[in-house]
């Protein structure tokens, strides 16, 4: 089994808690950070711009992805241009479609032509990957974020699809594929095995990295001991 430091896939921390983001930023294996409106809402963020500017100031030297939240493409463009102006390390997250199921390919093409660094998000099919790559400027840094975890939630194994997506991105050398929404730590190794460039990982999964390579007999014993200790603490009797 590979050690974490030997992986080629880049690990990005996914979250919106400031303390948690800074904790992950302090770890050398975390190469970037991402967030989204859902995570921000769960973290109690009420001032989007103030929070984002604070994070960009605190983390100036690694890519940070910040998402637009308008549902209208004209306003998405306005938001995207403002967000992009907050820092050279900022990537603007654009959803692959809006809530009306209208695709955002034309907007992606327009923003890419203005050299905006994009993170196109919420993709779940290879046809979406193909169309997004066609809309991007192949020489402008960008991310294509495929929600492999959500694909897995539907009972489909995303590994083959993600491997095919890696191939599709080869025509855009400045673009990188993100394995998004992983469900378990093993997904980091899945992403690495197919040459996926980036995986976004929540803090709760990242905190399990100390288990990588752990002796399974020891782990079995620790688990049995945990059950025994909890049974005693609960005062169970038969």
pLDDT of residue 2: 84
> Are the beta carbons of 141 and 175 closer than 8 angstroms?
yes
Residue-by-residue DSSP string for 105-169:
HHHHHHHHHTT--EEEEEE-SHHHHHHHHHHS-TTS-EEEEE-HHHHHHTT---HHHHHHHHHHG
The model's pTM is 0.94
pLDDT of residue 72: 98
**Cβ count within 10 A of residue 147:** 20
Residue-by-residue DSSP string for the chain:
---GGG--SEEEEE---HHHHHHHHTSTTEEEEE--HHHHHHTT---HHHHHHHHHHH--SS-EEEE---SSHHHHHHHHHHHHTT-TTEEEEEESB-TT--B-HHHHHHHHHTT--EEEEEE-SHHHHHHHHHHS-TTS-EEEEE-HHHHHHTT---HHHHHHHHHHGGG-TTEEEEE-S-SSTHHHHHHHHTT-SEEEEEHHHHTTGGGTT--HHHHHHHHHHHHHHHHHHHT---
Q: Could you tell me which of 12, 14, 6, 17 has the C-alpha nearest to residue 42?
A: 17
pLDDT per residue of the chain (238 residues) written in tens, 0 to 9: 788 888 999 999 999 999 999 999 999 999 999 999 999 999 999 999 999 999 999 999 999 999 999 999 999 999 999 999 999 999 999 999 999 999 999 999 999 999 999 999 999 999 999 999 999 999 999 999 999 999 999 999 999 999 999 999 999 999 999 999 999 999 999 999 999 999 999 989 999 999 999 999 999 999 999 999 999 999 999 9
pLDDT of residue 186: 96
């Amino acid at each position: 089994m590979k050690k974490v430091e030997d992986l080629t896939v880049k690990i990005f921390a996914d979250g919106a808690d400031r303390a948690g983001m800074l904790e992950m930023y302090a770890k050398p294996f975390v190469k970037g950070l991402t967030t989204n409106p859902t995570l921000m809402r769960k973290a109690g963020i009420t001032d989007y711009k103030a929070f984002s500017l604070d994070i960009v100031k605190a983390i100036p030297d690694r890519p940070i992805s910040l998402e637009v939240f308008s549902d209208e493409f004209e306003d998405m463009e306005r938001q995207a241009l403002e967000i992009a102006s907050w820092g050279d390390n900022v990537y603007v997250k654009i959803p692959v479609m809006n809530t009306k199921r209208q695709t955002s390919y034309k907007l992606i093409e327009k923003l890419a032509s203005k050299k905006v660094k994009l993170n196109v998000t919420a993709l779940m099919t290879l046809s979406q990957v193909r169309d997004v790559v066609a809309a991007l400027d192949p020489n402008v840094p960008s991310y294509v974020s495929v929600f492999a975890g959500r694909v897995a939630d539907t009972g489909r194994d995303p590994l083959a699809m993600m491997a095919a997506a890696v191939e599709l991105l080869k025509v855009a050398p400045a673009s990188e594929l993100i394995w998004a929404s992983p469900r378990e730590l093993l997904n980091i190794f899945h992403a690495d095995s197919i040459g996926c460039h980036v995986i976004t990982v929540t803090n709760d999964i990242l905190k399990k990295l100390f288990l990588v390579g752990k002796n399974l007999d020891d782990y079995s014993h620790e688990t049995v001991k945990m059950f025994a200790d909890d049974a005693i603490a609960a005062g169970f009797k038969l």
